[in-house]
Amino acid sequence: MFARYKFNSNIDPAKAVKDGWNAEQRYFDIFDEADKRITAQTIKALKADIIALQEVENLDTLKRFRELYLGGKKAFPYALAIDGNDPRLIDVAVLSRYPIIHVRTHQYLSDPKGRFVFSRDCLEVDVEIQSGKTIALFINHFKSMLDRKQPCRGREVTRQKRLMQSEAVKKIVVDRFGKNPGNHPFIILGDFNDYLETDKQGATAIASLVNWNQVENVVDRLPQQDRWTHFWKGNSSCGIPASYHQIDYILLSKSLAKGSSALPTIERRGMPKRAARYSGPRFDGVGKDNPKASDHCPVVMDIRV
């Protein structure tokens, strides 16, 4: 959800952010309206009351998207985004039909060398489901597995950052709820940019979070072949084939998971047609590569509080 631009494939985002563009060279293209329309179709299809989002430019962009494509404030009265650490201006955000009553950013958390832990943020949001009853959301978008300098070793060389982020999220939850946080109603969710399997690209960085005994990865309730949420076309020059993995997560606290027996749904109709493993129907206008909602699939689930 960008209001202004998407970077060209051969442009270093850091350079583009610093230098912008001039009459001789433009670093970005206007973002395609068709993608926004298909993204909106995907969101509407979820019929979700609360939606965690990644790659939202800012709150104004989110509100405008809501107004133009989702039915405005009537559809989602509550919208929130806080500018985070990514220089490309991609932030995490939330849309909700229930009141947002507490917000806390963790973007300023730093490692011993003074570097930001979170690539974007771990956005802590309390939503009031009914009077006196709330759910705490911890919305994340971890470090990507892509590395421009070492594209054939991206997962390996970026692993440490995601590992640090995973541990930081656990500490944030424990600091708030105590040593047995699973007894409280919270959800850790978002794009973790990693999967649990070890392969030629390296080992996972998120197992300690996803397999934490205080939460349940609800996608594990589905048959193994149906758990993927993301398609990557691979890198032929590195000998890395196309792949399908779960990298988008809803981790329910143990107390929420115990009371919520529903199966999650993974919405794939906005996926580009190059993701051939999905052979079902797609939304009108979806192309081989573009337009599309995303290479990611949203995960939705009914939760009993």
The per-residue pLDDT for 1 is 73
Instruction: Give pLDDT tens digits for 150-167.
Output: 999 999 999 999 999 999
- Taking residues 175-197, what's their average pLDDT? 98
Query: For the chain, what is the largest distance between any 2 Cα atoms, rounded to a whole number of angstroms?
Result: 59
Q: Is the pLDDT of residue 7 over 70?
A: no
Q: Which long-range contacts (CB under 8 A, 24 or more apart) does 235-243 make?
A: 235/151, 235/152, 237/151, 237/152, 238/151, 238/152, 239/152, 240/152, 240/200, 240/201
Torsion of the alpha carbons at 206, 248, 104 and 126, rounded to the nearest 10: -120
168-172, 191-195, 238-242: the lowest-pLDDT one:
238-242
- pLDDT higher for 16 or 140? 140
The whole-angstrom separation of Cα 153 and Cα 139 is 27
- Taking residues 48-63, what's their average pLDDT? 95
The per-residue pLDDT for 33 is 86
Amino acid at 24: E
- Taking residues 247-259, what's their average pLDDT? 98
Q: Is the pLDDT of residue 14 over 90?
A: no
At 32, the pLDDT band (50, 70, 90 cuts) reads: confident
Instruction: Give pLDDT tens digits for 100-140.
Output: 999 999 999 999 999 999 999 999 999 999 988 999 999 99
The per-residue pLDDT for 5 is 56
Closest CA to 58 of 122, 132, 1: 1
Q: Is the dihedral of CA 214, 252, 55, 192 positive or negative?
A: positive
pTM of the model: 0.91
